[in-house]
Amino acid sequence: MADKRKASMAAPNPEPKRPRVSKDDDSDSGSAVTPSERPRNNPIYGQKSAFPGLDDGGDELTYDEPDGALEYLRMVRSEASSLPTLFIAAASKKEATTSIKNTGTGSVPPGPQSSLPARFFDDEAYIAPVKGNKNMIGSSEDALPEAQTIFYDLLRHRFRLLRSTLRCTPPATAIAALDDSHPISLPRHHEAARKEWRRLILSVDPHMAQLACMDSHSVLGALGIVARELSDVVRGENAESIRRMGAWTWGILGKCREVGELATEDVGAIRDLGKRAAKICEKIGEANSQYPVDGADSEAGEDIQTGNKNSQGDTGQHVMQQAEVTGTGDSDMADATDESDDLEAAKARLQAQLQANISTNPTDDTSEGDKEYVTQQTHAMLDMILTVVGEFFGQRDLLEARQSWAI
């Protein structure tokens, strides 16, 4: 044991660790890297430059002849900095028109001009050209009567004019003329303000200056109120209320921004309005199919009314004849004077009944005219909502809910 202790004590000290070579020593020994030669990140894309020396010249254009590779790259970079970040190619209208004339549809004709097959599987996705929706919408548009197609074209033109008008700043005098019944703001999460707006939408017509001064949040809030009250207004069958609701809907949709500038929730609110209008159209169609107004049933109703009128007239004539016969038979009796008084009273009552039946006929015609006017106002408002929401806000599937005027 003593020998082992002596041997361990006599062993030399271990060698010290090798010092770590630092990058600072290498930089000192070699050429120093200046801050201008360090690569910088692109401020737009975040990409690090592969050639640090290109960042010395800045973004100014150089028109001298390039002496070296770096000078050439710097000149190319300076030219690229003057170009826009994103290029958009204009669509060729001539080629699209030729394709439609040759094939009858908007699809690309098969052949050497098409670089991709009709259908293919790539990156775990089956890709095929979209033809069904466009053709279906086009065929439904072609199936409409000519007068209805002209109406939709005029409606689109008027809506574009309304949009451009509401984007302009109204005159100061028009803004100052707005009263308390024409507010221009609807605060969020304010129940009292929403109740007041609901009352105004149902009772007061909108004003162009009022709509032009409204901000986007107020417009979308008013749009939600209109969507919730649409069914109740149509169910009320009041022509004035339906006309006023159509005016508010027309103005609010015209004040909405372009579909590309709206958030997903905003587009969803506009689509909800279109879906409610489509649902109402469906309900009206079902009611008309169950209770037809025109055709054989209406003719049968007219026959029944005519028969009732004829029977009433015959009954009146029969009573008159009986009264005359009774008066002739009793003329020789002693109490002829009393019976003649009763006869005159019966004649007066009968004439009053006949006059009442005649006077009720214009009232019935007036009520039928009011119902027809309410129906026209309802269909015009629903067609306007479906056309604007479908054509200008990308919800083209809702266009199929429009009813044809030929039905």
pLDDT tens-digit profile of 312-321? Answer: 445 444 444 4
Q: How confident is the model at residue 70 (pLDDT cuts 50, 70, 90)?
A: confident
Q: Is 284 within the bounds of a domain?
A: yes
Residue from 311, 406, 308 nearest 364 by CA: 308
Instruction: Say which CATH number the domain at 193 has.
Output: 1.20.58.1070
Q: Are residues 256 and 364 in the same domain?
A: no
Q: Are residues 365 and 226 in the same domain?
A: no
pLDDT tens digits, residue range 255-272?
Answer: 999 988 888 999 999 999
Q: Is 263 within the bounds of a domain?
A: yes
According to DSSP, the residues that pair with 125 across neighbouring strands are 122
The total number of structural domains in the chain stands at 2
In terms of average pLDDT, the best of 52-66, 98-112, 227-241, 363-377 is 227-241
According to DSSP, the residues that pair with 120 across neighbouring strands are 127
pLDDT at position 230 is 93
Residue 148 has pLDDT above 70, yes or no: yes
pLDDT at position 297 is 44
* Region of residue 237 (left: phi > 0; alpha: psi -120 to 50; beta: else): left
Q: How confident is the model at residue 135 (pLDDT cuts 50, 70, 90)?
A: very low
Q: End-to-end alpha-carbon separation of the chain, Å?
A: 119
- Outline where 237-295 has alpha helix (H): 239-255, 264-290
Greater confidence (95 vs 155) lies with: 155
Q: How confident is the model at residue 357 (pLDDT cuts 50, 70, 90)?
A: low
- Outline where 185-215 has alpha helix (H): 191-203, 208-213
168 contacts 212 by C-beta, under 8 angstroms: yes
pLDDT at position 300 is 40
Span 203-229, average pLDDT = 93
Q: Are residues 237 and 164 in the same domain?
A: yes
Alpha-carbon dihedral angle through residues 67, 73, 79, 80, given to the nearest 10 degrees: 180
- Note the pTM of the prediction, 2 decimals: 0.52
Residue keyed to tokens 């958009």: 88
* Residue % of the chain over a pLDDT of 90: 31
Q: Is 300 within the bounds of a domain?
A: yes
Q: Are residues 201 and 335 in the same domain?
A: no
Span 210-226, average pLDDT = 93
Q: Are residues 279 and 351 in the same domain?
A: no
| H or E segment to which residue 137 belongs | helix 132-142
Residue ranges making up the domain that contains 346: 296-380
Q: How confident is the model at residue 159 (pLDDT cuts 50, 70, 90)?
A: very high
Q: Is 245 within the bounds of a domain?
A: yes
Greater confidence (309 vs 230) lies with: 230
Q: How confident is the model at residue 296 (pLDDT cuts 50, 70, 90)?
A: very low
Q: Is 252 within the bounds of a domain?
A: yes
Rounded to the nearest integer, the mean pLDDT of the chain is 72
Q: How confident is the model at residue 385 (pLDDT cuts 50, 70, 90)?
A: very high
Span 365-383, average pLDDT = 82
214 contacts 225 by C-beta, under 8 angstroms: no
Span 318-335, average pLDDT = 45
Q: Are residues 341 and 217 in the same domain?
A: no
Q: Is 323 within the bounds of a domain?
A: yes
Q: Is 23 within the bounds of a domain?
A: no
Q: Are residues 287 and 343 in the same domain?
A: no
Q: Are residues 286 and 346 in the same domain?
A: no
Q: Is 376 within the bounds of a domain?
A: yes
Burial of residue 245 (number of CB atoms within 10 Å: 0-12, 13-18, 19+) = buried
pLDDT at position 324 is 46
Q: Are residues 188 and 277 in the same domain?
A: yes
Residue keyed to tokens 């004829």: 310
Q: Are residues 241 and 214 in the same domain?
A: yes
Q: Are residues 250 and 396 in the same domain?
A: yes
Measured in whole angstroms, the distance separating CA 182 from the mean position of its chain's CA atoms is 24
Q: Are residues 159 and 187 in the same domain?
A: yes
